[in-house]
């Protein structure tokens, strides 16, 4: 949603109303019940519109409560490639879980190393020596290493 609003250059003060238009089912009911309270709160702060960051925060807090985020952070902390997992499956789950590591300050520099450390040893052994700066580079090299490991007879 945020990407779409950025592409159409939606003004910041209109982002919440534009996004709310697309909410359906549980999200639509939730926002219908929350909207007036949120508007009143931000008006009391002297803000004429609900800020996008505030909207995202309350939506996240409602649909992914803290106890679930804590569980996902813990899963990320111990996440590594399982025996039956491909490099591609590992990469996509890594990306998904890394969203919950925000408070751990997962930097662009530490993310590739964290990804590499979670690879299966037979794949990690085939990676070239040296530190790669970008997660996508480690992912691509690991994919090539996986192909080599799987073709060796």
pLDDT tier at 153 (50, 70, 90 boundaries)?
low
CB 127 within 8 A of CB 108: no
pLDDT tens-digit readout, 8-42:
999 988 999 999 999 999 999 999 999 999 999 99
Least confident of 64-73, 111-120, 144-153: 144-153
Question: Is residue 137 over pLDDT 70?
Answer: yes
Cα distances (angstroms) measured from residue 64 to each of 6, 26, 60, 94, 119 = 24, 13, 5, 18, 28
Question: Is residue 44 over pLDDT 60?
Answer: yes
Name residue, tokens 């990407």. Answer: 3
pLDDT tens-digit readout, 87-133:
999 999 999 998 887 655 555 557 888 899 999 999 999 988 877 78
Burial environment of residue 85 by CB neighbours within 10 A (0 to 12, 13 to 18, 19 or more):
middle
Least confident of 31-40, 46-55, 72-81, 123-132: 123-132
CB 127 within 8 A of CB 145: yes
CB 24 within 8 A of CB 11: no
pLDDT in the model for residue 152: 64
Q: Record the tokens describing residue 48, joined without a space.
A: 């004429």
């Amino acid at each position: 949603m945020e990407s779409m609003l950025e592409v159409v250059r939606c003004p910041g003060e209109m982002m919440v109303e534009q996004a709310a238009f697309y909410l359906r089912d549980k999200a639509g009911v939730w926002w219908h019940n929350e909207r007036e309270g949120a508007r009143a709160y931000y008006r009391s702060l002297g803000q004429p519109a609900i800020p996008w960051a505030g909207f995202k925060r309350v939506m996240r807090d409602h649909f992914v409560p803290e106890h679930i985020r804590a569980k996902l952070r813990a899963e990320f902390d111990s996440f590594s490639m399982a025996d039956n997992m491909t490099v591609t499956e590992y990469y996509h789950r890594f990306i998904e879980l890394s969203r919950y590591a925000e408070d751990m300050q997962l930097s662009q520099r530490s993310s590739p190393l964290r990804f590499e450390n979670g690879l299966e040893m037979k794949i990690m052994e085939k990676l070239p020596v040296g530190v790669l700066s970008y997660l996508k580079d480690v992912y691509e090299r690991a994919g090539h290493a996986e192909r080599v490991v799987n073709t060796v007879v």
